[in-house]
Amino acid sequence: MKTLMLGNEAVARGLYEAGCCFVSSYPGTPSTEITECVAKYEEVYAEWAPNEKVALEAALGASLTGKRSFCAMKHVGLNVAADPLFTISYTGVNAGLVIGVADDAGMHSSQNEQDSRHYAKASKIPMLEPSDSAEALSFAKLAYELSEKFDTAVLIKMCTRVSHSQSVVETGERVVPEQKKYEKNPAKYIMMPVNAKRRHPEVETRTKALTEWAEQTDINRIEPGQDTSCGIITSSTCYQYVKEALGDTYPVLKLGMIWPMPQQKIKDFAATVDRLVVVEELDGFIEAHCKNLGLSVSGKDLFTNIGELSQNLVKEKLGGTVQTGTCLAEDIPARPPVMCAGCPHRSIFYVLKKLNLTVLGDIGCYTLGAVAPLGAIDTTVCMGASVSGLHGFVKAGGEEMEGRTVAVIGDSTFIHSGVTGLINIAYNESNATVIILDNSITGMTGHQQNPTTGYNLKGDPCTKIDLESLCHAVGIQRVRVVDPYDMDTCQKVIKEELAEKEPSVIISRRPCALLKYVKHPGPICSDPEKCKGCKACMNIGCPAISMVDGKAKIDATLCVGCGVCEQLCKFDALGAKE
Amino acid sequence: METKNIMIVGVGGQGTLLASKLLGRLLLGKGYDVKVSEVHGMSQRGGSVVTYVRWGDRVCSPIIDKGQADCVLSFELLEAARYTEYVKPGGRIIVNSQQINPMPVVAGAASYPENLVEKIAGLGIQVDAFDALTLAEEAGSSKAVNLVLMGRLSKHFEFTTQEWMEAIEHSVPPKFLEMNKKAFALGQSA
């Protein structure tokens, strides 16, 4: 049946059809929907793991028992999973093991735009790179064949445009291969030096065999063109830009497997054209391979290694004329993302700013506490870095920093990798104050359950990790819980804990305002008679409040009645219900 | 046929994804090659959002580049102004005249530009501006702005009402079907 599917949904369908039985992932844009979609198939066990390293190790375990398994993450998640990745390369698999990784060129929703293809080469694990949803589906199935044929995990590299574009796919039936037996095999699965030394040559032999396969496979295919003055090597979404911009003008070598790459096929292709050009996003990965083969090639001299490419850019650089439209002469104000009306994070950041604290931030919706008018965050690096960074900050900064520095981290991020930083704080005794922003969900990626919510990926009730007990258990004596909507108490508790001479955790607890089960009191009103136009309520950056003719006005379609602005108004002008 | 391009733009949370889902369904049913590109994650939080819908005999790129859109369907006035550069010569903008202040305007750091409809028309773009929010409320919910705009869009493309209705039935929950059909009809006749 022909149907439209997101690239991520198509990967999920491919996993299903390939008989995948076990999926463990951590959410991250743009990879999240792969796991959400595959969880809808009853035949597939799927879960959210606490982080990507745990997810990949769980998937390896499932593979060893003889079931086809899968694990998805965003590009930076692969950094977290890199430890098992490099050694899984040595152990190989039992049943097929496939790893989905989604890059985010252009940083639509990420803190960097690292190019995951380097991981394939560095870990010596083959990587497939689909260019649309149909390939996402077929490559997911092919990945299992390769995984079992060559005894290796296989990476499928997605990117924002492939993950989040819908295109036409044809679905097939699910076929579950016969379950393989687990057999004890210390030489293959115990990677202590004596065994690992024997496995490494196997990895190199496997890479040679995969390179041979890359020469033969039709997923690395040459598409003829009318004009051989130029030949293009490309892959992923860039292949689509090339075809859109240039049609069948120039011959194209389209690579479906991006590591290992063929050698002879590329040399033969180069010999048929006058000039060789590589069109690829981010780093010159294919280009470097071509140069290693001794070929003269253009790539990053034409196309930027920053951000995304597009059909206009390809056309412009390869000789076509580009027609563009017209901008308005005046500046159009930007519309950056904002914290939602009623967001429980807003008031905490207001208090932190009011107290003029240094705030080490983390990854999640609450990163928006960095933007005006709140502007309350000093740093954002990676998952968990707020807590571990705070330890170094106050340990090295001494008493001067201790009393005026905090870390803020969400519930899911804390479980992902904040808790290890907290263990360091307890163990190495830094006088640190950590604020866990517990909104009872993984927010930014679109409401995924996590170990602290009491529900699993399939939506069933499950064990709920108790944050207070967890903090106590790792050695933090002082753990306090506040309601972020109550700003006076928040301020008092934060000041008290900063003054204490021992580490403490403050849990700011209130569920995300967008969760369906959360009941709101409903919109408030402003009283123009009482409003003095002092703009105190504007300091929280709530999208529901604006100044109209010098008076605060509440947008009733957005306001949920959280009451935070009411606490800021000295003239009692906010709060009357409609 | 030459590939057709529609950009759907608006503010995160306005329901642009349902509009693209509905269009995708309709176009696939007509036997076209279709690509629909969305944005998820960070930018959905009240930020400027863009969806690309492309169809034809063979569609390659999932995105619409500058100067390529046959039509920009905008859920908000400022967002229409933001993407004029994407409209191809002779192209069209259909826009809900509702204004939603972005944070720099709310915070007083910028002002919402005035007379945007006239200014966009001054670029040689055909502008069809109307109050879709009021029509949506008339149909039963401010959330039905997307269906009002779909109704308006239907006047410019060659699909039958039956084809539209089939796509609507597949894309909205049964509970809201009548309300959404009414919103579509109001947009169509406005």
Residues A235 and A144 in one domain: no
Mean pLDDT across the stretch A540-565?
A: 92
Written as six digits, the tokens of A443 are 């927010």
Domain end marker among A182, A216, A250: A216
CB pair distance less than 8 Å for B89 and A339: no
For residues A51-70, average pLDDT: 98
Q: Please report which confidence band the pLDDT of residue A232 belongs to, taking 50, 70 and 90 as the band edges.
A: very high
DSSP state of A191: -
Return d(Cα B75, Cα A91) in angstroms, integer: 53
Does some domain include residue A340?
A: no
What CATH code is carried by the domain that includes residue A553?
Answer: 3.30.70.20
pLDDT at A285 over 70: yes
Task: Give the model confidence (pLDDT) of A163-185 as tens digits.
Answer: 999 999 999 999 999 999 999 99
**Are residue A366 and residue A479 in the same domain, yes or no?**
yes
Helix then strand then coil, in percent of chain A rounded to 5, is 40, 20, 45
A334, part of any domain: no
Does residue A501 sit in the same domain as residue A414?
A: yes
Domain count along chain A: 4
Task: Please report which helix (H) or strand (E) contains residue B56, including its range.
Answer: strand B48-56
Put simply, the chain B residues between 126 and 165 with a CB less than 8 A from any chain A CB are 142
Domain at A301, CATH number:
3.40.50.920
**Which residue type is seen at A182?**
Y
pLDDT by residue, tens only, chain B of 190 residues? 899 999 999 998 888 888 999 999 999 999 999 999 987 665 567 889 999 999 999 999 999 999 999 999 999 999 999 999 999 999 999 999 999 999 888 888 899 999 999 999 999 999 999 999 999 999 999 889 999 999 999 999 889 999 999 999 999 999 999 999 999 999 999 7
CA distances from A192 to A61, A188, A195, A197, A203 (A): 18, 10, 6, 8, 16
**Residue A107 resides in a domain:** yes
Within a domain: A352: yes
Query: Residue A421 is part of which domain span?
Result: 345-509
| pLDDT tens track for A426-475 | 999 999 999 999 999 999 898 999 999 999 999 999 999 999 999 999 99
CB-based contact, B55 to chain A, within 8 Å: no
CB-nearest partner of B45 from A245, A312, A338: A338
Comparing CA positions, the residue from A78, A503, A564, A574 lying closest to residue A343 is A564
pLDDT, residue A372, reads: 86
**pLDDT for res A344:** 97
Render pLDDT for A333-379 as a digit per residue (tens, 0 to 9).
Answer: 999 888 999 999 999 999 999 999 999 999 999 999 999 899 999 99
Q: What residues of chain B lie within 8 A of the CB of A557, using their CB?
A: 142
pLDDT of residue A320: 80
**Of A509, A535, A565, which residue constitutes the final position of a domain?**
A509
Number of neighbours of residue B83 by Cβ within 10 angstroms: 21
What percent of chain A clears pLDDT 70, i.e. is strictly above it? 99
Average pLDDT of the segment spanning A138-157? 98
CATH architecture of B4-189: 3-Layer(aba) Sandwich (3.40)
* The predicted structure's pLDDT at residue A196: 98
If asked whether residues A300 and A211 sit together in one domain, one would say no
In A290-349, the residues whose Cβ lies within 8 Å of chain B are: 310-312, 322-328, 330-340
pLDDT-derived band at A1 (thresholds 50, 70, 90) equals confident
- CA–CA separation, A382 vs A473, rounded Å? 25
Confidence band, pLDDT 50/70/90 cuts, at residue A319 = confident
The verdict on a CB contact (< 8 Å) between A372 and B85 is no
Query: Exposed e or buried b for every residue in A308-328, given b needs 16+ CB within 10 A?
Result: bbbbbbbbebbeeebebbbeb
Q: For A99-108, how does the pLDDT look when each residue is reduced to its tens digit (9 = 90+)?
A: 999 999 999 9
In a domain, A516, yes or no: no
Reduce the secondary structure of A277-298 to three states and give it as a string: EEECCCCCHHHHHHHHCCCCCE
C-alpha span between A57 and A88 (Å, rounded): 9
Write out chain B residues lying below 8 Å of A380, CB-based. Answer: none
Structure-derived torsion over alpha carbons of residues B166, B167, B173, B179, reported in degrees to the nearest 10 = -80
CB neighbourhood size of A153 (10 A): 28
Chain A interface includes B60 (CB < 8 A): yes
CATH number at residue A29: 3.40.50.970
Answer yes or no: are the C-beta atoms of B27 and B166 closer than 8 Å. Answer: no
Both tokens of A20, joined, read 């995948």
Mark yes or no for CB contact B45/A32 under 8 Å: no
Average pLDDT, chain A: 96
Q: What pLDDT is attached to residue B107?
A: 80
Where does a domain end: A460, A476, A509? Answer: A509
- Residue A265 and residue A144 share a domain: no
**Does the beta-carbon distance from B91 to A335 stay under 8 Å?**
no
Arithmetic mean of pLDDT, A409-430: 98
Does one domain contain both A56 and A186? Answer: yes
Closest CA in chain B for residue A544: B106
Let me know whether A144 and A188 are in one domain.
yes
pLDDT at B41: 61
* A446 & A550 share domain: no
Please state the length of chain A: 578
Q: Dihedral through CA A260, CA A262, CA A267, CA A272, nearest 10?
A: -130
Question: Residue A478 burial (CB < 10 Å; 0-12/13-18/19+)?
Answer: middle
3-state SS of chain B: helix, strand, coil percent to 5?
45, 25, 35
Q: Which residues pair with A2 in a beta bridge?
A: A170
One domain, residues A237 and A206: no
Percent of chain A with pLDDT over 90: 94
Do the chains contact at B40 and A29, CB–CB below 8 Å?
yes
A136-140 mean pLDDT: 98
Q: Residue A577 has what pLDDT? A: 65
Residues facing A222 on adjacent strands: A253
For chains A and B, what is the number of CB pairs under 8 angstroms?
182
